[in-house]
Amino acid sequence: MDNTVTGTEAGFSGDDQIKIILNYIFNNNGVAQTKELYSALESKLSGKKLSEQGKASLRFFVNKVAVQAGFIQPYDKENPGWRITKEGIDYIQNADISEVTINTETNEEETSLSNSARGLSFE
């Protein structure tokens, strides 16, 4: 049985994957290598590994989407590693509007809007 998936197959949108890697880079003193980013996403995959397509997709989200959005500095072969920008830090600090709770009837994790985000939607 194949134990590999893409991030999307595991239920993570491109935006989710960018948030995961931005948080990882931020918590890793602001810089990370590509292999570390794979591991960061794989840590959320319930024991599965990223497929080659999953790795290619993650590289696209980092190198194209996050760099173009200004969240990560463009790759510099003279100074290897992906570096989070101030915009990337602001994004992850302001973008976390969901929270994970445990449904006590089913013992399943559920993701919903945080109370503060719910409050904002009524303002």
List pLDDT tens digits, range 20-30: 999 999 999 99
The tens digit of pLDDT for each residue in 28-51 reads: 999 999 999 999 999 999 999 999
Query: Which pLDDT value is given to residue 100?
Result: 59
Alpha-carbon gap, residue 120 to 69, rounded angstroms: 24
Q: Strands, E, within the chain: which ranges? A: 4-5, 31-32, 49-50, 82-83, 98-103, 108-113
Alpha-carbon gap, residue 59 to 64, rounded angstroms: 8
pLDDT > 90? residue 84: yes
pTM of the model: 0.75
